[in-house]
A and B are shown apart, each in its own frame.
Chain A
Amino acid sequence: MELRPILSTLRHHKLTASLLTLQVAFTCAIVCNVVFMIANRVHQISLPSGLAESELSMLKIAGIDPGENSQARHAADLAALRAIPGVQAAVAVDSLPLGRNDSSYGTCANQQAWNRAMAARSLNGVQGCLNPSVYSGSPGELEALGLHLVAGRDFQPDDYVPAKPGYVAANVPSAIVTRSLAAKLYPGRDALGQSLYMGGRPPMRIVGVVENLLRPRLREPGVNQYSVLLPSIPGEPSVTYVLRSAPQDRARVLGSAVAALTRLDPNRLIPPDGVRTYTQIRHAYFQRDTTMIGLLIASALGLLFVTALGIAGLANFWVQQRTRSIGIRRAIGATRGDILRYFQAENFLIVTVGIVLGVLLAIVLNLLLMTHYELPRLPLWYLPIGAAVLWALGQLAVLSPALRASHVPPVVATRSV
């Protein structure tokens, strides 16, 4: 394929061709970053919570009598909930992964790290100290939530301490941590049997390690699995009951649970948004992200669509404009394939220049997004894929006008306009 005639034609349409090139460049830059953002959000919404999600339902209740003994009431409620047919387990917890109710405490791997943090009056950046989220619940929590123990043991009955009202958790002798927290606090060592220093509490012995337990509220990537389970029985009047049942039983079980709890105390408050399956909790937590993913997909498709329209529209014009010269070329011996390839090559050239510009723009745009929106760095392998997509799109868009051009009969050359 001879490039020279194409280049000389394009020189005649410098402005138009450079506008199209710019459009391809901006589309390439935006689409690469948008696809990267989509990938990030998809990763975010598919983070494992560590729970047996499809089998869990929850009821959030608010006590309205400040004088009562919360733990006695919770125990009575749980007994009634366990009696519901289909309920395999029921526990009281203070918060759930993605439940937005987050209590996190400065926690250090050992006494020395804790002393260093105290001396610095801050945990930020102190070696061996992190800020994990803390979960507490009534006996049987691990089993009921379906948490997967990878080392050590579950809490035993004598580990449990009832929390006083107004306190997030009681002073307990033991703790269970997630695998990623254990690896970060005790790199290269076995976390089992180590002493955990949390807030001003007496040190707690790590008795078990669970595979995953997502935080109630997500933070920057990498720290979302930093969680600690404590054998502290919730003492606040407001509490969340978690029920485990077969997935198809969830709706029925939730209905019976509300009825059972209302029977026990007709005056209690069960806010309507407090009665949900775990699937609904996850869905509600990520609603913004799913909306954003939809919008990002729509805008990427919209951009590609508009760019394809531009390419096709312009190619159409050029074919019309050059009908006569195409006829002449055909008359002096060019085959249909030559004409077809001519337009395809022209498009390839324009799109290629656009892509080169677009790749640079994509990196600049990513740097901008990194400073303003805490987006990670764009992996470089996105760029060749983006380029390939735009090349394919360009060839697809130019195909129909180019085919039309190749069907111009040579006799056109003999006609005047």
Chain B
Amino acid sequence: MFGYYLDLALRSLKRTPILTGLMVLAIGLGIGAAMTMLTVLHVMTDDPLPGRSAHLYTPHLDPLPLDYKQGGDGPDPTDDLTWPDAMALLKAQRATRQAAMAGGSLLLRPGRADLRPFYVDGRYATADFFALFGVPFLQGSGWSAADDAAGAQVVVLVDALARKLFGTGNAVGRMVRLGEHDYRVIGVTRDWQPAPMFYVDASAKRYSDGDMFFLPLATAVDRKLDVNGNFSSWGEDRAETRMVSPTTTWLQFWAQLDTPAQAAAYRQYLVDYSAQQKALGRFQRPPANAKLYGLMGWLAHENLVPGDVRLQLWLALGFLFVCMLNIVALLLAKFLRRSGEISVRRALGAKRRDIFVQLGIESALIGVAGGALGLAIAQLGLWSIRQRPDDYARLAQMDMPMLLGTLALAVLASVLAGLLPAWRACRVPPALQLKML
């Protein structure tokens, strides 16, 4: 039966090639625009660490004074932690693993004639950083908690930077001059870049190049190395002491909590810690302001998708909607015009359901053709997005699920569009139509 309906549908579509073409074009344009933007949204809100993300949490405290007023477009100071708070959470060891971190940009002097000095972005972090996020090592290893305490002058490089500096040979044990100091390389990691970079400060680019080096946080604080994130201060702000000030937030903090019970206990610990700080007179706001975000929850809170991209998505969906209305109207006219043919089939014994299925297949066929066209248009759209200067641009690629999703959406849209016309057409009263023939 299916083959017969397919044949009927093909014949019917061939009879009105221009109209069929228009419908395919309309659905192709609508689907192409919508899928381009859905793909961009998909890659921007993707899980950066599949498998690990469910156990990663970031704690947030509210150490602000009661009368602090948030400026209009400034960063939210409670997005980050102060040095004393981060160190307290770190020492409490309430999570399976935990690390404090901040981004930095340092001048690297290769000390070679063929390589000019250049700035590299990296991260100052505490020892657990690598195990916490599962950063894969190629050579050597990270540093220990003892190195953290001692402010060891060691560095971990990312493979790309190690190759640039030392070629393909062993980099461990070599020295690198970053800023005004020398550091000993103790490890080289695989090129590692989660997208989006969930652990960076709100001012950083989330989809651009990842960290190229990792330094112990204590070393960075001892030497007052440049930090390229927000410093939010609500008390005395002096350049000499801002890194360790109890009234300046600048550190990011992540913890691994394996079970929901552990997460609940940690949440309670944060409230207790805030209450204790309030009792000591350091915090003024309610301890219940302390929050614990899961990784995906934190990304949702940070609202990574720019307004323009969301606007473009709505525009594309609006366009798809108008295209659908268009197709519904055209299919309705097309099906109703065949009332005569339908009533003959009905008179010959076809059930309403048969007519419905036949017309449904005809709309699905338009959907398949429209989906193929939409796929081509979406590839074109994604290509144009990759030409944009934004940091997310290079991620705009369609993966297999999105590819299949495009076709499915196109077929679904056209079947949906065919539903009303097909229902209307299969309710044609056969006797009346036959009389008119």
Contact = CB atoms under 8 A, between A and B. Distances in A.
Contacts of A121: 67, 69
A313 B330 contact: yes
B141 interface: no
Interface in B317-357: 318-319, 321-323, 325-326, 328-330, 332-334, 336-337
Contact of B333 (A267, A299, A306, A314): A314
Contacts, number: 108
A295 interface: yes
B33 interface: yes
B19 A313 contact: yes
B281 interface: no
B429 interface: no
Interface in A6-62: 15-16, 19-20, 22-23, 26-27, 30, 34, 62
Given A23-B329, A26-B325, A310-B329, A296 B389 contact: no
A83 interface: no
Contacts of B336: 16
Contacts of B337: 317, 320-321
What range describes how many residues of A lie at the interface?
Answer: 35 or more
Contact of A287 (B307, B322, B329, B388): B388
A417 B437 contact: yes
Interface in B48-64: none
B326 A309 contact: yes
A101 interface: no
Nearest to A62: B119
A294 B29 CA distance: 16
Contact of B326 (A310, A316, A320): A310
Contacts of B424: 15
Tell which of A27, A284, A310 has the most Cβ of chain B within 10 Å: A310
Interface string A264-295: 00010100000000000000100110011001
B239 interface: yes
B19 A30 contact: no
B437 A302 contact: no
Interface string B296-318: 00000000000110011001101
A415 B330 CA distance: 28
Contacts of B389: 284, 287-288
A219 B73 contact: yes
B334 A292 contact: no
Contacts of A22: 325
Interface string B13-53: 00000010010011001100100000000000000000000
B69 A66 contact: no
A274 to B, nearest CB: 12
A232 interface: no
A149 B73 CA distance: 31
A370 to B, nearest CB: 13
B72 interface: yes
A295 B332 contact: no
B222 interface: no
B322 A303 contact: yes
B180 A66 contact: yes
Interface in B103-149: 107, 109, 116-119
A59 to B, nearest CB: 16
Contacts of B332: 15-16, 19
Contact of A306 (B26, B72, B180, B312): B26
A16 B329 contact: yes
Contact of A299 (B107, B116, B319): B319
Contacts of A70: none
Contacts of A302: 29, 33, 319
The 7 nearest A-B residue pairs measured at CB? A19-B329, A310-B326, A317-B333, A23-B325, A122-B69, A16-B332, A309-B22
Given A267-B117, A309-B25, A310-B26, 15 more contacts: A20-B329, A23-B322, A26-B318, A30-B315, A166-B239, A219-B73, A269-B116, A269-B118, A284-B389, A288-B390, A292-B312, A299-B316, A306-B323, A310-B325, A314-B333
Interface of B: 19, 22, 25-26, 29-30, 33, 67, 69, 71-73, 107, 109, 116-119, 180, 239, 307-308, 311-312, 315-316, 318-319, 321-323, 325-326, 328-330, 332-334, 336-337, 388-390, 420, 424, 437
25 contacts: A15-B424, A19-B329, A20-B329, A23-B325, A26-B318, A26-B325, A30-B315, A122-B69, A124-B69, A267-B116, A269-B117, A269-B118, A287-B389, A292-B308, A295-B312, A295-B315, A299-B316, A306-B29, A306-B322, A313-B19, A314-B333, A317-B334, A317-B337, A320-B337, A373-B307
